[in-house]
């Protein structure tokens, strides 16, 4: 029982990271109908910028970990957003109006480019940092097994919930969010109402990148080490999360991320850990057989 609770906590933390990345996939898909395969790499860049910022801050001594994290967060948000914006501007916008697969191929190209770019600049080795946040609450103890939730895990879950709430508000209630949803449904019509579609799409990429930066920072804090390849699998799983929840649906991406995190944690707890990815993708396949539009995706009903 204690073990189960511990895995639940771990799974939620992992799910928060996947959920944050998945939102980037689902939003971009929603607005331009394309899977941004470079998004996992944007997350990796966010993690790297975080680790670089922490390393630079190190010699100054962290007055308090919270101040350090806020500074690093700001730096990571800014730089990663610029990457997200630039990717759209350079690799996707010129291909808009081209055939459907062109931006997809371009996305794969960007993904390979970014991996190698970071590989060249930062090397292939894991980059570690000292733990920034230590300690936690002990919830229960059974013999030598301690169920604990660390301060970091609390912070991650709280931050993720807050971000997702803020984001839902942004999409549902602000004029930018309305413009985004309008562009999703009919881009030309939105332009005819005076919405700057190109800018709206750019902002979508920037927002996705910002959330990926937060996910990257969380990963850095949680695992304490980063390499150039983390974007690949995390990106793939976040994409899976977006599809599982129903691609194009914001709550779906959050739910999907959470589910994937929990599945992974529980599978690792009770079954051979080497097969955890098989479990994740296996469940995706099963869900898609019975609900092709994902858990929260609304099927388009075609009128005849």
Partner 1 sequence: MSLLTVEHLTIRFGGLVAIDDVSFAAEDRRITAIIGPNGAGKTTVFNCLTGFYKPDVGRMCVAADGQEWLLERMEGFRIARDAGIARTFQNIRLFPKMTVLENLLVAQHKALQRASMFSLAGLVGAKSFRLAEQAAIERARGWLERCKLVHVADDEAGSLPYGAQRRLEIARAMCTGPRILCLDEPAAGLNPAESAELAALVRSVRDEEKIAVLLIEHDMSVVMEISDQIIVLDHGRKIAQGRPDEIRANPDVIRAYLGTDEEAVAAP
Q: Smallest distance from the beta carbon of 69 to partner 1, in angstroms?
A: 21
Nearer to partner 1, 178 or 276 (CB): 178
Q: How far is CA 76 from CA 73, 209, 217, in A?
A: 5, 10, 8
What DSSP element (H or E) covers 213?
helix 197-223
- Cα separation, 125 vs 148, in Å, equals 31
Closest distance between partner 1 and the C-beta of residue 203, in Å?
A: 8
What number of residues does the chain have? 304
* Nearest distance in Å: CB 177, partner 1: 7
In the complex with partner 1, the residue whose CB is nearer, 134 or 199, is 199
Closest to partner 1 by CB, 104 vs 170, is 170
CA dist 157 and 143 (Å) reads 28
Q: How far is the CB of 200 from partner 1 (least distance, A)?
A: 9
Distance in Å, CB of 294 to partner 1, minimum: 16
For the chain, counts of helices (H) and of strands (E): 11, 4
Residues that bind partner 1 (CB under 8 A): 166, 169-170, 173-179, 181-182, 185-186, 188-197, 203
Which residue lies nearer to partner 1 by CB, 142 or 196? 196
Neighbours of 259 (CB within 10 A): 23
Cα–Cα distance, 207 to 235 (Å, whole number): 16
Find, among 287, 263, 247, the residue nearest to 36 by Cα: 247
Closer by beta carbon to partner 1, 197 or else 279: 197
Residue 228: exposure state from Cβ atoms within 10 A (0-12, 13-18, ≥19): buried
| For partner 1, the closer CB: 65 or 251 | 251
- In the bound complex, what is the minimum distance in angstroms from residue 160's beta carbon to partner 1? 17
């Amino acid at each position: 029982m204690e073990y189960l609770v511990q895995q639940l906590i771990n799974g939620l933390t992992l799910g928060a990271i996947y959920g944050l990345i998945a939102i980037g996939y689902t939003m971009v898909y929603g607005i331009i109908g394309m899977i941004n395969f470079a998004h996992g790499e944007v997350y990796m860049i966010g993690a790297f910028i975080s680790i670089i910022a922490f390393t630079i801050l190190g010699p100054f001594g962290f007055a308090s970990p919270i101040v350090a994290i806020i500074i690093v967060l700001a730096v990571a948000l800014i730089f990663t957003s610029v990457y997200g914006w630039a990717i759209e501007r350079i690799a996707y916008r010129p291909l808009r109006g081209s055939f459907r697969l062109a931006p997809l191929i371009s996305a794969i190209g960007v993904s390979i480019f970014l991996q190698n770019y970071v590989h060249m600049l930062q090397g292939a080795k894991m980059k570690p940092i000292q733990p920034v946040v230590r300690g936690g609450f002990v919830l229960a103890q059974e013999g030598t097994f301690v169920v604990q939730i660390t301060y970091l895990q609390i912070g991650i879950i709280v931050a993720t919930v807050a971000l997702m709430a803020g984001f839902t508000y942004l999409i549902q209630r602000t004029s930018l969010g309305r413009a985004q949803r309008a562009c999703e449904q009919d881009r030309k019509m939105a332009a005819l109402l005076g919405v700057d579609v190109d800018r709206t799409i750019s902002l979508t990429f920037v927002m996705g990148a910002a959330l990926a930066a937060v996910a990257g920072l969380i990963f850095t804090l949680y695992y304490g080490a980063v390499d150039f390849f983390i974007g690949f699998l995390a990106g793939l799983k976040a994409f899976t999360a977006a599809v599982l929840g129903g691609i194009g649906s914001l709550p779906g991406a959050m739910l999907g991320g959470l589910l994937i995190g929990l599945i992974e944690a529980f599978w690792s707890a009770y079954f051979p850990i080497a097969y955890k990815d098989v479990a994740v993708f296996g469940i995706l396949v099963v869900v898609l057989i019975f609900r092709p539009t994902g858990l929260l995706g609304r099927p388009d009903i075609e009128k005849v």
